[in-house]
A and B are shown apart, each in its own frame.
Chain A
């Protein structure tokens, strides 16, 4: 679905590159989590995938075709993007936000409206209660549901999600994670999900790609990473939460 070949991205030649010689594939229908601490290059990787950024060297392919040779506008409309800061348009109603990609694709207003209401139901929001509201009238969790609904607007095969639940409280985050799992079963989308939260990664991922200082440390299922960490960094990354969990279990 998406392939990266020796991708390097440097914003400033005097600094170490944000992404350094990274190669991996995202398989059709899987949920791949990019895991790493802030500044490890995971958001940069996401932006390379839909052409918001161009690699300094290497190739990024979507559906077997290099991103740079595709029309960036239609590429982005065919890939859903859920932003870290949510980025809803504050001057548009929920319905208008969710219907924006169909609007860009030139769909008639009636169809946009139906589509928006359908997507709101998919993300668990009642259209009757929410469609006419403005983003600022919604809670953070509701806003991010709208963000997901908007990303689904163009019925993309693939969703890029950049720490979508990062700013939410633990309970809301847990709910949205569960909903995302259900959604994934229902919609059969390929998802690339960025997070710095190990438990979120283990909860959602089919496979996890661990990134550190712009380099790919290891890619594999959660079990593989836990049982046979390829590098010292991966080992330490999982060891500390495991100890905490064990201690927590002891108390219980």
Chain B
């Protein structure tokens, strides 16, 4: 019981943000379902009318449905070149098409042939037949499709947070990044409740709009006269409530993608990837800018990976985020890695300036390279010290890699080549779950982040990269040149972080978030205050 009470207290503390995220969630769902209705019903009508269109149309919307949600978001990000609400709404709209198109078709085909013949026989034009007879009679089936679409949208919209579109998924995403179950539930429970409410409100609309039967008693009829209009209006009221909740709470909270349009020139948008260190770095930069400039900061944290952050930076969806030299070199510039840290930094700084109109600021002072890591007990028992020591035993080991590590050229593929290494089994793991998985013995080897506080906390042993395979991963702020020109003070302010976060400091900050359950915002404030960085220069 206390666990539940604690969680409720936790949720109440975050009530303003909960309203904001719920409002965003409703707007995402409402706008996309609306768009799917506007597009899907005509498509369904075409499929019903034009026989040869039927299979290709239903097939096409069916295929859309089979694209995994994250892949869909990534594809749209690549096509549109921007993050935020727009690609999320387009993705949700595409998913919502199938049930609406299919039910429109089924509804129209289900209209009794006698009634259709009567409509023709008394002289209705095809348009009148559709409008006056077929659509009204198909409506219950169509509305059932809309309900399905809306409920599915509420669920899928939780993934929109990956591309910075906000919504309740933001809590889930943050919870996953921080291994914080309370936060995950803060997104998941309201999302489930919202799904029920959305479903109920569309059901109410359907009841409210259905033909009135005259058999009701006078009292029931009087109640119905009041209740029906309310029921019909309920989905709209819900959407408006979402808008109001959003507007009322967005004033006090920055960082919603929906406010981007009114952001204006005095706002700087700071992004981050979806793991602890990135959130801490994001907070460090955000709080410093807030304390030492007049700029408003919009936090677009927890974006779903390097490509999404980079895409957002290039398209102006964000103004800056913290990137690692090795990542930029291999994953973005697609160059071969180098073991020379200075050379790596110079290369990415030059290439970014020329190709992406973005500047690398001075590194923070730590190198978060990948570290091939085993349990300390295994390291001692098998006498493992370097990655080369793994080669002879690799076939009997199970490796757990993040999806990104498995894919990147400076990840597993390159590692195999450089060391002649092949593990017996490779599993995909979420970054947040990787350390638990190895600690529990579910895997034997992980590619950990060198600055991760959990390496020490979980009694793990990083192995030395004796062939110098992993490029240096110095972290630094990357900022759009345009943003730097608009706000030249940013260079000086962010420059205060140069060289002040070394490997052990970063490990400690990460550890405090991951294992002591403190928020990145708290950690960042303590650190900045401790270094006296928040006080203005005299």
B136 — which chain A residues lie within 8 A by C-beta?
A: 91
Give CA–CA (A100, B123) in the complex, Å: 10
Interface: B215 (CB within 8 A): yes
Binding stretch for chain A, among B44-52, B112-120, B147-155, B438-446: B112-120
Are B137 and A104 in contact, CB atoms less than 8 angstroms apart? no
Q: Which residue of chain A is the closest to B128 with respect to CB atoms?
A: A104
Contact with B along A117-134 (1 / 0, CB 8 A): 000000000000000111
Are B117 and A76 in contact, CB atoms less than 8 angstroms apart? no
Are A50 and B121 in contact, CB atoms less than 8 angstroms apart? yes
A91 and B137 contact, Cβ closer than 8 Å, known pairs A73-B125, A75-B123, A76-B122: yes
Pick from B115, B121, B214: contact of A90, CB under 8 Å:
B115
Number of interface residues, chain B, beta carbon within 8 A = 20
Interface: A149 (CB within 8 A): no
Interface: A16 (CB within 8 A): no
Are A83 and B117 in contact, CB atoms less than 8 angstroms apart? yes
Contact with B along A20-57 (1 / 0, CB 8 A): 00000000000000000000000000000010100000
Interface: B211 (CB within 8 A): yes
Give CA–CA (A78, B133) in the complex, Å: 20
Interface: B124 (CB within 8 A): yes
Which of A74, A84, A89, A137 has the most chain B CB atoms inside 10 A of its CB? A89
A93 — which chain B residues lie within 8 A by C-beta?
A: 211
Contact with B along A57-83 (1 / 0, CB 8 A): 000000000000000111111100101
Chain B, 100-138, CB within 8 A of any chain A CB: 114-115, 117-125, 128, 132-133, 136-137
A101 and B215 contact, Cβ closer than 8 Å, known pairs A85-B114, A87-B117, A90-B137: no
B118 — which chain A residues lie within 8 A by C-beta?
A: 81, 83, 85-89
How far does the Cβ of B228 sit from chain A's closest Cβ, in whole Å?
A: 16
Give CA–CA (A113, B118) in the complex, Å: 21
A76 — which chain B residues lie within 8 A by C-beta?
A: 120-123
How far does the Cβ of A86 sit from chain B's closest Cβ, in whole Å?
A: 8
Which of B117, B123, B211, B213 has the most chain A CB atoms inside 10 A of its CB? B123
Are A150 and B137 in contact, CB atoms less than 8 angstroms apart? no
Number of interface residues, chain A, beta carbon within 8 A = 31
Pick from A77, A89, A91, A137: contact of B123, CB under 8 Å:
A77
B214 — which chain A residues lie within 8 A by C-beta?
A: 132-134, 137
B137 — which chain A residues lie within 8 A by C-beta?
A: 89-91
Pick from A87, A101, A104, A151: contact of B115, CB under 8 Å:
A87
Pick from B114, B128, B211: contact of A91, CB under 8 Å:
B211
Are A81 and B114 in contact, CB atoms less than 8 angstroms apart? no
How far does the Cβ of B225 sit from chain A's closest Cβ, in whole Å?
A: 14
How far does the Cβ of A85 sit from chain B's closest Cβ, in whole Å?
A: 4
Give CA–CA (A83, B114) in the complex, Å: 8
Pick from A84, A100, A137: contact of B122, CB under 8 Å:
A100
Chain A, 120-178, CB within 8 A of any chain B CB: 132-134, 137, 150-151, 153-154
Q: Which residue of chain B is the closest to A74 with respect to CB atoms?
A: B123
Give CA–CA (A78, B117) in the complex, Å: 17
Are B123 and A52 in contact, CB atoms less than 8 angstroms apart? no
Are B122 and A104 in contact, CB atoms less than 8 angstroms apart? yes
Which of B115, B118, B119 has the most chain A CB atoms inside 10 A of its CB? B118
How far does the Cβ of A136 sit from chain B's closest Cβ, in whole Å?
A: 9
Give CA–CA (A87, B124) in the complex, Å: 14
Are A87 and B211 in contact, CB atoms less than 8 angstroms apart? no
How far does the Cβ of A145 sit from chain B's closest Cβ, in whole Å?
A: 15
B122 — which chain A residues lie within 8 A by C-beta?
A: 76-77, 81, 100-101, 104, 150-151, 153
How far does the Cβ of B466 sit from chain A's closest Cβ, in whole Å?
A: 78
Q: Which residue of chain B is the closest to A93 with respect to CB atoms?
A: B211
How far does the Cβ of A125 sit from chain B's closest Cβ, in whole Å?
A: 15
A83 and B213 contact, Cβ closer than 8 Å, known pairs A89-B115, A89-B133, A90-B137: no
How far does the Cβ of A177 sit from chain B's closest Cβ, in whole Å?
A: 22
How far does the Cβ of A82 sit from chain B's closest Cβ, in whole Å?
A: 9
Are B124 and A104 in contact, CB atoms less than 8 angstroms apart? yes
How far does the Cβ of A115 sit from chain B's closest Cβ, in whole Å?
A: 14
Give 21 A-B contacts (CB < 8 Å), ordered by A residue.
A50-B121, A52-B120, A72-B123, A74-B123, A76-B121, A76-B122, A77-B122, A81-B121, A87-B114, A87-B117, A87-B121, A88-B115, A89-B115, A89-B119, A89-B133, A89-B137, A91-B211, A104-B128, A134-B214, A137-B213, A153-B122
Q: Which residues does B use to contact A, with CB under 8 Å?
A: 114-115, 117-125, 128, 132-133, 136-137, 211, 213-215
Give me the 3 closest cross-chain CB pairs, A-B, nearest first. A87-B118, A76-B123, A77-B123
Known pairs A50-B121, A87-B118, A90-B115 / 7 extra A-B pairs, C-beta < 8 Å: A52-B117, A72-B123, A76-B120, A78-B123, A81-B121, A89-B133, A132-B214
